[in-house]
Amino acid sequence: MPQENPEISADDLATRVWQELTRAPHDRHHEWRTPVLATQGIAASGPQARTVVLRHADAVSWTLCVYTDARSPKCSELQTQPLAQLIFWSKRLHWQLRVSALATVELEGEQVNAAWERVRQSHAATDYVSPMPPGHIQPARQSIKPDPGDLASTHHLAVLSFKVNSMDWLALRQDGHRRARLSPSGSLLWLVP
């Protein structure tokens, strides 16, 4: 297991964590590229968790960014209850990161246009042009492939921005696990693992 200095300072730990978070969107093999996003389900549906791709991480504003289909249930869940968690696990680092954040759902505007420009040339573009919303019952034998013409017109890409409130970092170590709570103000609190 990799052994980080147990006496690591708040600044150093936050820097290391953000180093990994900012690398992840650019590295297909980084385990933190695909965190689990947990939201509060609407009405009695209970907690909802699913894998997403981390698209951007900003160490200055403590913001994380994910793309989704604007019609997916996670969007209405976050519009109703913007408090969410993103969970990252890295086997390489032996680190778990539980990020508590306040989400904003961007459905239009500069951020969405820029995101669409980035994905429209890629294979992922087809994820955002389906005529039917995600989770809709698939009619039997109907092709799930969108019409290539759809790529030029309407898309349903939404940008989810997560403003981090706090991060719960857990490092599994042979000589004793380490756990700390990090906040954007720079405070660090060591916790019993």
Ligand X SMILES: Cc1cc2nc3c(=O)[nH]c(=O)nc-3n(C[C@H](O)[C@H](O)[C@H](O)COP(=O)(O)O)c2cc1C
Q: How far is the CB of 75 from ligand X (least distance, A)?
A: 7
Residue (74 or 178) nearer to ligand X, CB: 74
Q: Which is nearer to ligand X, 23 or 177 (CB)?
A: 23
> Closest Cα partner for 190 from 173, 168, 172, 175?
168
**164 touches 100 (CB < 8 A):** yes
For ligand X, the closer CB: 118 or 181: 118
**Is residue 42 involved in binding ligand X (CB under 6 A)?**
no
**Residues 8, 52, 87, 151: which binds ligand X (CB under 6 A)?**
52
Which residues does 86 contact at the CB level (< 8 Å), separation at least 6? 35, 36, 37, 38, 52, 54, 64, 98, 99, 101, 162
Q: How far is the CB of 119 from ligand X (least distance, A)?
A: 10
Asked whether the beta carbons of 3 and 173 are under 8 A apart, the reply is yes
From candidates 53, 112, 151, 172, binder to ligand X by CB under 6 A = 53
> Which residues, including other chains, have CB under 8 Å from residue 57's CB and lie 6 or more apart?
18, 21, 22, 24, 25, 63, 64, 65
Number of residues located near ligand X, criterion CB under 6 A? 15
CA distance 156 to 70: 5
In our burial notation (b when 16+ CB lie closer than 10 A, e otherwise), range 32-50 reads bbebebbbbbeeeeeeeee
Residues 108-167 that bind ligand X (CB under 6 A): 134-135
User: Looking at 2-10, 17-25, 70-78, 92-100, which segment touches ligand X (CB under 6 A)?
Assistant: 70-78
Does residue 25 touch ligand X according to CB under 6 A? no
* Cβ atoms 55, 115 nearer than 8 A: yes
CB of residue 52 to ligand X, shortest distance in Å: 4
Nearest approach in angstroms of CB 180 to ligand X is 28
Binds ligand X (CB under 6 A): choice among 40, 48, 90, 166: 48
Residues forming the site for ligand X (CB under 6 A) = 34, 48, 50-53, 66-69, 72-74, 134-135
